[in-house]
Amino acid sequence: MARYAFIWELGGAYGHLGRMIPVARELQRRGHEVVFIIRELVEAERLLGPHGFKWYQAPLWIGRVMKLPDPLSLAELLMGFGFLDVPALLSICRAWRNLLTALSVDALVFDYAPTAVLASRGLGLPQLNLANGFQVPPDTTPLPPLRWWQKDKAPAARLMDSEKQVLHVANQVLYELGAPPVAGMRDILSGSIDVFATLPELDHYPHRNGGDFVGPMFALGRGEEVRWPARGALKIFAYLKPDYGGLEALLTVLRQLDASVLVHIPGVSKRLVETFSSDNLAISRQPLDIEQVRRSCDVAVLHAGISTVAAMLLAGRPVLLFPQQLEQTMFARGVEALGLAVSIPEAASGQFQRLVKRALADPSLKQNAERFAEKYAGYDQHATIRVVADRCETLLAPQPRFGNP
């Protein structure tokens, strides 16, 4: 049996582990060993420990790159994570190589891990990229702009120049490592087989042509039991972050609705819980059972994490999205364009009450979400998990030999 390393380097929240853990458990069930090399260890004991997985801290860029403009593409985004500094990037890549060698792994499964992809180049380890759409853009030169709805604000010359800078730094690092050079950004962002754990309609890049879309995966049987507050006609589930700038304004609006509101805020302060808890609004620090939530709620209020949004839409639940960062904004705009959600920027916090009430009064959101669920009524995430596990096993299958022995 094989030893797989599941690797997560960039991005936050439960979505990355939510994709990896079900596949890792399936491989474990088939007799393989899985180790995790991950960005955030805070939830590792609770999420990975019960399954007997071992985990390690991912080598990360912790420096600060000053005076970078807002990124127009993934190449420019990588500049903020060491891809402008050869000595620093080389150090991190060597740490990745040392760790992979020490763990004696047979294959790598990446989830948004460009530095690990770069570091593993030339090691001869089979690889699979478990993507959500954002981290592997369409394979064009230059890469498409992140703000695809503002194409006129992303000059092609700047996009090309940024890619040349990132590729130059990457190839200098690879030269020092004695590894083959990269030809383009795809070799850094993916470098292997891409499996998109989402649906084509929910792709961050709505103009992508083709791709191996296997469908979303979200938590299975995890989390606390769902207990709705007794008062309120409408059941609203919210999953929010404690560092969201509009958090208190949004909680104020939700508490004032004629609704039973259940909110999950990881790491929320005791003060905030005491301030906003009422007979119609309950706040949980712990994750809630997503299956119970999506079957019992009427509406979901989210930051636009793809796995949770997909879980709600597949259950026919409309969503109100409050994106925190650019990846979520990209995704929220795409879902809104489909008529499945309303996207509300943090800058509009002073208008949250009006915008939320208007969204809740719009019957088309519910109708469109129900139609989306009907389209994918046969979707089975258990089957998706098995498919991805099959892909992982295929990495180590003997390759056919051609010609005379």
138 and 251 assigned to the same domain: no
pLDDT in tens, 35-45: 999 999 988 99
Q: Which of 33-37, 60-64, 282-286, 335-339 has the lowest mean pLDDT?
A: 60-64
369 and 387 assigned to the same domain: no
Burial class of residue 127 in the structure, from the number of CB atoms within 10 Å of its CB (0-12 exposed, 13-18 middle, 19+ buried): buried
Burial track 55-85 (b if 16+ CB lie within 10 A, e otherwise): bbebbebeeeeeeeeebbbbbbbbbebbbbb
145 and 200 assigned to the same domain: yes
Domain region containing 73: 3-215+382-394
Q: Is 96 part of a structural domain of the chain?
A: yes
262 and 191 assigned to the same domain: no
Q: Is 400 part of a structural domain of the chain?
A: no
Q: Calculate the average pLDDT of the chain.
A: 93
pLDDT in tens, 93-109: 999 999 999 999 999 99
The structure's pTM equals 0.91
Q: Is 221 part of a structural domain of the chain?
A: no
Over 60: is that where the pLDDT of 400 sits? no
87 and 209 assigned to the same domain: yes
Residue 184 sits in a domain of what CATH number? 3.40.50.2000
251 and 206 assigned to the same domain: no
Cα 280 from Cα 257, distance rounded (Å): 9
Helices (H) and strands (E) in the chain, counts: 15, 12
67 and 205 assigned to the same domain: yes
169 and 272 assigned to the same domain: no
**Stretch (H or E) spanning 274:** helix 270-276
Q: Is 225 part of a structural domain of the chain?
A: no
Nearest to 112 by CA among 189, 206, 187: 189
206 and 333 assigned to the same domain: no
Q: Is 142 part of a structural domain of the chain?
A: yes
Q: Is 154 part of a structural domain of the chain?
A: yes
Q: Would you tell me the crossing angle of helices 247-256 and 352-360 to the nearest 10 degrees?
A: 50
Q: Number of structural domains, the chain?
A: 2
Q: Is the backbone peptide bond immediately before 50 cis, with ω within 30 degrees of 0?
A: no
Q: Is 404 part of a structural domain of the chain?
A: no
Q: What is the arrangement of strands in the sheet containing 281-284, beginning at the earlier edge strand?
A: 281-284, 259-264, 234-239, 299-302, 319-321, 341-343
Return the pLDDT at 405: 47
211 and 249 assigned to the same domain: no
Question: 14 φ, ψ to 5°?
Answer: -80, -15
166 and 48 assigned to the same domain: yes
Cα 76 from Cα 159, distance rounded (Å): 8
Cα 336 from Cα 387, distance rounded (Å): 29
147 and 250 assigned to the same domain: no
Q: Where are the alpha helices (DSSP H) in 55-143?
A: 74-79, 86-103, 114-119
Q: Is 401 part of a structural domain of the chain?
A: no
Return the pLDDT at 283: 97
Q: What's the N-to-C CA distance of the chain in angstroms?
A: 27
